[in-house]
Structure 1
Amino acid sequence: MKLYTIGFTKKSAEKFFGLLRKAEVTTLIDVRLNNVSQLSGFAKRDDLKYFLSEICDVQYAHRIDLAPTQPLLDDYKKHGASWTSYEDRFLELMKTRHIENTVPRELLNNAVLLCSEDKAQHCHRRLVAEYMAQQWGDVSIEHLT
């Protein structure tokens, strides 16, 4: 199984959709807690769904169960919690949610996980991908940059 990740910040629409086309993903899974922010530009939910369909023939799915909780996000973004603390708490959240049992494997096959962060290193999309690879054992991960 191949699983990709991508962030939309610091990318033009041309670069973003070009990366998706080149990878030949079939589904974009939006793992953002808030996917309707005006700051999202072309990645705002309804616009993104349209562009994915028209430009790349890619399906769109929003999986809130793969997003952090608002308090967890606020602790990291607004209150200065360390990345290590955020990562530990988010991993525990995924375990509690049993996402390896509730997210269909076929949904993630040849899919891309979307979040806002430019790089995957400090983004929960990487944690989701790595967690699924660890749980399922047959997942290769590629971060589109």
Structure 2
Amino acid sequence: MDVTTIGFTRTTAEDFFGRIRAAGVKRVMDVRLHNTSQLAGFAKSDDLAFFLKALCGTGYVHEPLLAPTEEIMTAFKKKKGDWNVFQNDFLDLMAERKIESRLKPEQFDGSCLLCSEDKPHHCHRKLVCDYLNGKWGGKLSVRHL
């Protein structure tokens, strides 16, 4: 199952949508807790769904099941918490939510997980892919755009 990930910060709309189109993404799976912030610019949920369809022929779905809680995000972002603490807390949350049994690998085929972080190394979208691959025996072939 081919899955990609992407962040929308520190990029232009042209570059962002160009990468989505070039990768042949069928559906963007928004894994942000909040997807309606005015600060999100072109990545605000309703606008993003419109642009994806109009510019890329790509679908859009918001999947908050794959987002950290407000408490986890606040501890990491606003209080400048430690990445390892964030990672452990979020991995525990995914296990508690049993996301591997609530979702199917096929749902990810051709999908692109979207979050705000420009790079995946300190972003929960990478943790989601790593966690699910561990539970699903490596069924996801992940590429970060």
Normalising to structure 2: TM-score of the pair? 0.97
Offset of 1:55 from its aligned partner? 0.7
Would you say the 8 A contact 1:33–1:64 is kept in 2? yes
Which residue number corresponds to residue 129 of structure 1?
129
Offset of 1:134 from its aligned partner? 1.4
SS of match in other structure, 2:3? strand
Would you say the 8 A contact 2:31–2:66 is kept in 1? yes
SS of match in other structure, 1:118? coil
- Following TM superposition, where does structure 1 have runs of at least 4 consecutive aligned residues deviating by more than 6 angstroms? none
SS of match in other structure, 1:101? helix
Which residue number corresponds to residue 14 of structure 2?
14
CA RMSD of aligned residues (A): 0.8
Would you say the 8 A contact 1:27–1:107 is kept in 2? no
Would you say the 8 A contact 2:105–2:140 is kept in 1? no
Would you say the 8 A contact 1:7–1:114 is kept in 2? yes
Would you say the 8 A contact 2:105–2:139 is kept in 1? no
Which residue number corresponds to residue 144 of structure 2?
143
Offset of 1:8 from its aligned partner? 0.2
Paired-residue identity, %: 47
Encode CA deviations 1:10-40: one digit per residue, 9 max, x unaligned. Answer: 1111100110111101010000011000010
| Alpha-carbon distance in 1 for matches of 2:86, 2:56 | 33
SS of match in other structure, 1:14? helix
Q: Which runs of 5+ in 2 are unaligned?
A: none
| Alpha-carbon distance in 2 for matches of 1:106, 1:49 | 21
Which residue number corresponds to residue 45 of structure 1?
45
Count of aligned positions: 144
| Alpha-carbon distance in 1 for matches of 2:135, 2:20 | 25
| Alpha-carbon distance in 2 for matches of 1:38, 1:46 | 11
Q: Which runs of 5+ in 1 are unaligned?
A: none
Offset of 1:125 from its aligned partner? 0.5
Counterpart amino acid of residue 143 in structure 2:
E
